[in-house]
Amino acid sequence: MASAQESARIAEREDIRNRWLLSAPALVIIFLAAIGPLFIMLAYSFMAKGDYGDVKFGQFSLDGWFSVFLQRDIFDDTVSLADAHLTIFWRSVRLSLMTTFVTLVLGFPTAYFIATRPQNRREVWLFLVTIPFWTNLLIRTFAMQEVIRNEGILNTALMMLGVIKSPIQILYTDTAIMFGMVYVYLPLMVLPLYAAMEKLDFRLVEAGYDLYAGRFQVLRRLIIPLVKPGIIAGSILVFIPSLGAYVTPRVLGGGKNMMLGNLIELQFGQGRNWPLGAAISITLMVVVMTALLIYVRGAARAGTDNNG
């Protein structure tokens, strides 16, 4: 009996060792391609700034992290808040939250409409939702620019209808950036919401109406709690890429209304301050990871409530 147990343990250890050996190439690739660059950025953030846009290897410095939220006066060395960085950080968070909210408001009824269509027609509507993904992000952004510019489709239509007398300046504003990100990331909200609503038992909705619940009550107390995991998933899928967006703010913001992605590119490019750019990149990653942790906890709580 003891010999059989010992043989089983040896076989189990050999099986685990073989699995690790088979997984080793993939783990090495993942480390070098994903985790490795993050460690490089982390190391760069603790190095001194080079003279020509690189870093001084071996020279430890906290100037990069110091400059993320603080700045030192070049004349009297007084320390104050880095107003420009804080403004860009707040703009990024604010526009990302607004984009998430608008896509939720637009995506929820869209997903509900698709989920309530006959089974043989849902694929057609989902096909139409995914069509924008066939086009390059830059092309879609330029298309939005043609819509909202002073001589674009939106202003021209409003002037023809007599709503406005002169074009509204939308392009190169925060509103233009939000419009662009809503257009780009709306499918990322619709698809998780549809996946959640497709599993919804609409007999419960009918039961709510039979119990004299109004439409708003059914929506607030029945539909939204049941599709909450889809709401959380869609919100995270929209918020995270919006926070680090680069192309849309660059094109629709005109380089004046920067977001965190543009600020990072500026430090690695014209600013020639790699440690600061690396520190901002790590800060952005921390914010994204925090959002993911909130999502995981929210999804786990929603699953526990549904099981309860």
Domain hosting 123: range is 81-307
Is residue 28 in some structural domain? no
Is residue 26 in some structural domain? no
The pLDDT, as a whole number, for residue 299 is 67
What's the rounded Cα separation, in Å, for the pair 93 and 87? 10
The pLDDT, as a whole number, for residue 113 is 92
Is residue 67 in some structural domain? no
Is residue 66 in some structural domain? no
Half-sphere exposure of 228 (CA within 13 A, CB side): 17
Is residue 72 in some structural domain? no
**Residue 285, amino acid:** M
Sign, Cα dihedral of 234, 237, 243, 248? negative
Please, is 80 exposed, middle or buried when counting C-beta atoms within 10 Å of its C-beta (0-12, 13-18, 19+)?
exposed
Answer for the pair 295, 233: CB distance below 8 angstroms, yes or no: yes
Answer for the pair 216, 130: CB distance below 8 angstroms, yes or no: no
The pLDDT, as a whole number, for residue 205 is 78
The pLDDT, as a whole number, for residue 66 is 92
**Total count of domains within the chain:** 1
The pLDDT, as a whole number, for residue 72 is 84
Is residue 195 in some structural domain? yes
Is residue 109 in some structural domain? yes
The pLDDT, as a whole number, for residue 114 is 92
Is residue 253 in some structural domain? yes
> Strand locations in the chain, DSSP E?
47-49, 55-60, 70-72, 79-81
- pLDDT of the chain along its 308 residues, tens only? 557 777 778 888 888 888 888 888 888 888 888 788 888 899 999 999 988 878 888 889 999 999 999 888 878 788 888 898 999 999 999 999 999 999 999 999 999 999 988 888 888 998 998 888 888 899 999 999 999 999 999 999 999 998 888 899 999 999 999 999 999 999 999 999 999 998 887 777 778 876 777 778 888 888 888 888 899 889 989 999 999 999 999 999 887 788 999 999 999 988 889 999 999 999 998 888 887 887 777 667 756 665 55
In 116-245, alpha helices (H) = 119-130, 137-148, 153-160, 174-198, 202-210, 215-218, 224-226, 228-243
CA angle 27, 293, 23 (to 5 degrees): 10
The pLDDT, as a whole number, for residue 145 is 92
What's the rounded Cα separation, in Å, for the pair 96 and 191? 19
Answer for the pair 273, 289: CB distance below 8 angstroms, yes or no: no
> Taking Cα atoms as reference points, which of 192, 231, 285, 292 lies closest to residue 100?
231
CATH of the domain at 283: 1.10.3720.10
Residues comprising the chain, all counted: 308
